[in-house]
Amino acid sequence: MDEDLKTSAKGQILSIRDLPTLPKVLDEVSRLVQNPNTSIEAIAKVISRDQVLSAKVLKMVNSPVYGFPGRISSIQHSLVLLGINVIRGVIISTSVFEIMSKNMQGLWEHSVGCSLATGLIARKAGLKDPEEFSVCGLLHDLGKVVAAVQLPELHKAVSEAVRERDLRWLEAEKAVLGFGHDRINSWLADHWHLPGTIKEAMSSHHRPERAQFYPQHAAAAHVGDFVVRVFEYGSGGDDQAVPLSEAALGILGLKLGDLDEVMDGFAENLAEVSSISFDSEDGASGKERA
């Protein structure tokens, strides 16, 4: 793809703001967050005005993904326990993924599974704020979603390249678009003013050793992606196994044997996590085989 086409594609992707699935409340929350004097109560009130969105957020934060199952009763409570970065990530993911099942079947399940696995990995590694690591897993493939919606013809060509040439999704994206969803993730993170921890996990989860500032977040998302693919839960768009990066384990201070406990925790919580669905019309909840 030449540079003019790449620039055009970037422009089309970043018009995501025009999509009706991204709630206006997110812009208002982002403005409030920029003011250091804004109270949690004020942010909670803005989110709570959208009752449908509030219900989705509470459903998500009360899942095993965040380690507080069934105990978070309000948006304000969720903000206190999990922080604004986690709640913003949940709002973005649930809003954008609502349109997902028609474009990439099984990607929501894959992303929720990766969120669960990434949080378990962060806890196993003894990392601070494991809930934010969970959001890194939740958003790691968001660029695939946006490309599918904003560039449907090119997305179709990527899918065909995966099928016909037996490529991984990232390889097919680079062949067709000239860049992958990791690059799209970086653009989106800047566009939505996401924190550096989440941005770097989104943009570097395939090569965590290249992460400049927050390698642990990128490494956790990488290993989370590996775990969810081992279980064949959901679909990342291809059925290729992700090679596990030894560098990622090193960054996290983990050994291969440490993943046994993560795998056990993933299996124990999989049934409950598989019930998290926001698009009943498509019947896309539950287990989708890659």
**Mean per-residue pLDDT for 133-144?**
94
Residue 186 pLDDT: 92
**204/199 Cα distance (integer angstroms):** 8
Which stretch of 79-83, 190-194, 243-247, 254-258 has the lowest confidence by average pLDDT? 190-194
- Sequence length of the chain is 290
Residues 1 and 177 sit within 8 Å (Cβ to Cβ): yes
Rounded (5°) CA angle 75-79-82:
125
Which stretch of 117-126, 152-161, 206-215 has the lowest confidence by average pLDDT? 152-161
Nearest to 173, CA basis, from 160, 191, 186, 190: 160
Residues 113 and 231 sit within 8 Å (Cβ to Cβ): yes
Which residue intervals of 166-283 are DSSP H helices?
A: 169-176, 181-191, 196-204, 215-230, 246-252, 259-273
**158/70 Cα distance (integer angstroms):** 40
Q: Provide the percentage of residues in the chain whose pLDDT is more than 90.
A: 54
DSSP state of 207: S
Which stretch of 39-43, 65-69, 193-197 has the lowest confidence by average pLDDT? 65-69
Q: Which residue in the block uniquely carries the two structure tokens 């990434």?
A: 118
pLDDT tens profile 221-238? 999 999 999 999 998 888
**53/37 Cα distance (integer angstroms):** 25
**10-19, 33-42, 49-58, 207-216 — most confident range:** 207-216
Residue 286 pLDDT: 35
Instruction: Using only the alpha carbons of the chain, give its radius of gyration.
Output: 18
Would the pTM count as exceeding 0.85?
yes
**Mean per-residue pLDDT for 64-87?**
89
Tokens of 160: 């065909």
Query: Is the pLDDT score of 287 beyond 50?
Result: no
Residue 130 pLDDT: 95
pLDDT tens profile 9-23? 667 666 655 443 456
* φ and ψ of 172, to 5 deg: -65, -40
pLDDT tens profile 163-186? 999 899 999 999 988 889 999 999
What is the CATH code of the structural domain delimited by 3-19+101-273? Answer: 1.10.3210.10
**What is the residue extent of each domain of the chain?**
3-19+101-273
Nearest to 144, CA basis, from 7, 236, 6, 279: 236
pLDDT tens profile 245-284? 999 999 999 999 999 999 999 999 998 888 886 543 333 3
Residue 79 pLDDT: 94
What mean pLDDT value characterizes the chain?
A: 85
**233/227 Cα distance (integer angstroms):** 9
Residue 19 pLDDT: 45
Residue 281 pLDDT: 39
Residue 192 pLDDT: 80
Residue 259 pLDDT: 96
**154/68 Cα distance (integer angstroms):** 40
Top pLDDT among 247 and 67 is at: 247
DSSP state of 274: T
Residues 61 and 78 sit within 8 Å (Cβ to Cβ): yes
Q: With cut-offs at 50, 70 and 90, classify the pLDDT of residue 112.
A: very high
Query: Is the pLDDT score of 101 beyond 60?
Result: no
Residue 247 pLDDT: 96
